[in-house]
């Protein structure tokens, strides 16, 4: 067991988090992560209504009695997202951990905090982490450039971004982006983090609901098999290198083109239907991180968490012994 500030804060056994993921963060996987001793998050915007979210929370509760949370990704949407109603459902269902991402959580923090909810806010820069702490979040999850999805626009890797963030804030920090194994956890702890957030690694697990073709594709891919799209729109996303993402990059070489030029290609609904559910690797633009280069298998969540904790513990013990022997 590795005990840190976040294991104590959230009542979990391992300092390993599975943050919210579009098309992936459903009850079966979240519960599997919780039962393995980690902390998983249901993705709220999968639910069309607050009642649907309450149902998903109930499904998760039916298969785990351990802590889990709900992710609120605060991004622009063509369809209105009922964030206020989601927050009420979270509180009414007794969930006491929320992960926010995207824009500032300032509009929702007062209600969540007043109802005893601990809030993790995901950031992509030191300056945003400092602002989040001032707003009153309990934990900062800092996303390095290696991450899947939205890495921000600063292009700073986690090995620099993580300690810089730890130096700048007093709240616990979770390392996100490029995390996939015990070496990742040991390195993150050495750099000052209190735990790690893994997305891509949990996609390639037995309990993950994504199509088996996509899991196998992640295992067979390398760290070079991702692409950055929407750079010209200042809304960068890291996605799998495939026919669709290569087409988007080619279209966006013309900086005068807006989102309408690629809207159908980058549609989240398309990726969920064609890729996540349908198993067509080239079916859409789907998020995956550079950490796929470290993924060699498709284990169950319990085995994965146990292996990561065991590997990290051995690495840290071995490193300490080596330093002591060298000093002597």
| Largest pairwise CA distance in the chain | 65
Structural domain for 53, as ranges: 5-209+302-327
Residue 77 is predicted with a pLDDT of 66
- 150 and 283 together in one domain: no
Residue 170 located in a structural domain: yes
> Model pTM?
0.95
Do 122 and 186 belong together in one domain? yes
pLDDT, position 324: 66
| Helix spans in 152-299 (H) | 158-168, 182-190, 200-203, 212-220, 243-251, 268-270
**C-beta atoms surrounding 319 within 10 Å:** 12
Nearest to 275 by CA among 285, 266, 265, 267: 285
Closest CA relative to residue 181, chosen from 148, 161, 151, 204:
204
Q: Are residues 192 and 94 in the same domain?
A: yes
Residue 103 shares a structural domain with residue 123 = yes
- Show pLDDT as tens, one digit a residue, over the chain (328 residues): 899 999 999 999 999 999 999 999 999 999 999 999 999 999 999 999 999 999 999 999 999 999 999 999 998 766 788 999 999 999 999 999 999 999 999 999 999 999 999 999 999 999 999 999 999 999 999 999 999 999 999 999 999 999 999 999 999 999 999 999 999 999 999 999 999 999 999 999 999 999 999 999 999 999 999 999 999 989 999 999 999 999 999 999 877 778 888 999 999 899 999 999 999 999 999 999 999 999 999 999 999 999 999 999 999 998 777 766 555 5
Task: Specify if 296 maps to a domain.
Answer: no
Domain membership flag for residue 297: no
Whether residue 104 sits in one domain with residue 48 = yes
Domain count, the chain: 2
Q: How far apart are CA 105 and CA 121, in angstroms?
A: 8
Residue 176 DSSP SS3 = strand
> Is 295 inside any structural domain?
no
User: Residue 204: inside a domain, yes or no?
Assistant: yes
- CATH number of the domain enclosing 165: 3.20.20.70
Q: Does residue 122 contact residue 94 with C-beta atoms inside 8 Å? A: no
Query: Do 144 and 250 sit in the same domain of this protein?
Result: no
Helix runs in the chain, H state only: 5-10, 27-35, 50-61, 83-92, 109-114, 126-135, 158-168, 182-190, 200-203, 212-220, 243-251, 268-270, 301-327
pLDDT digits (tens, 9 = 90+) for 36-88: 999 999 999 999 999 999 999 999 999 999 999 999 999 876 678 899 999 99
The reply to whether 131 and 119 lie within a common domain is yes
80 occurs within a structural domain: yes
Same domain as 202, residue 107: yes
CA dist 96 → 20, 104, 267, 326 (Å):
15, 19, 32, 46
Please state, in angstroms and rounded to a whole number, the distance separating the CA atoms of residues 198 and 191.
Answer: 17
Judge if 76 and 188 occupy the same domain: yes
Q: Decide if 280 is inside a domain.
A: yes
pLDDT one-digit tens code per residue, 252-261: 987 777 888 8
Same domain, 318 and 260: no
Helices and strands (DSSP H and E) totals, the chain: 13, 10
Domain co-membership, 150 together with 118: yes
Query: Are 170 and 255 spatial neighbours (Cβ–Cβ below 8 Å)?
Result: no
Pair (51, 100) in one structural domain? yes
Decide if 231 is inside a domain.
yes
């Amino acid at each position: 067991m590795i005990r840190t500030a976040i294991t104590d804060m959230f009542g979990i056994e391992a300092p390993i988090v599975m943050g919210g993921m579009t098309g992936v963060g459903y009850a079966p996987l979240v519960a599997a992560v919780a039962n393995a001793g980690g902390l998983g998050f249901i993705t709220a915007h999968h639910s069309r209504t607050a009642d649907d979210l309450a149902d998903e929370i109930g499904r998760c509760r039916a298969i785990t009695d351990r802590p889990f949370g709900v992710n609120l990704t605060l991004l622009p949407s063509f369809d209105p997202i009922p964030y206020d109603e989601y927050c009420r459902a979270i509180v009414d269902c007794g969930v006491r951990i929320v992960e926010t991402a995207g824009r500032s959580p300032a509009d929702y923090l007062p209600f969540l905090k007043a109802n005893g909810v601990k809030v993790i806010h995901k950031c992509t820069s030191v300056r945003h982490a400092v602002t989040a702490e001032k707003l009153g979040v309990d934990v900062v999850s800092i996303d390095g450039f290696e991450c899947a999805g939205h890495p921000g626009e600063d292009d700073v890797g986690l090995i620099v971004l993580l300690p810089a963030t730890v130096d700048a804030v007093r709240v616990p920090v979770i390392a996100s982006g490029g995390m996939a194994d015990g070496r990742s956890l040991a390195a993150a702890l050495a750099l000052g983090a209190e735990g790690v957030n893994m997305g891509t690694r949990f996609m390639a697990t037995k309990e993950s609901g994504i199509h088996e073709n996509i899991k196998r594709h992640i295992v067979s891919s390398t760290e070079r098999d991702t692409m950055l799209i929407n750079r010209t729109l200042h809304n960068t996303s890291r996605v799998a290198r495939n026919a669709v993402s290569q087409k988007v990059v080619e279209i966006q070489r013309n900086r005068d083109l807006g989102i309408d030029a690629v809207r159908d290609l980058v549609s989240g609904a398309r990726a969920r239907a064609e890729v996540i559910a349908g198993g067509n690797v080239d079916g859409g633009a789907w998020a995956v991180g550079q950490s796929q280069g470290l993924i060699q298998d498709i284990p169950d969540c319990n085995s994965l968490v146990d292996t990561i904790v065991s590997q990290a513990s051995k690495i840290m013990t071995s490193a300490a012994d080596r330093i002591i022997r060298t000093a002597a």
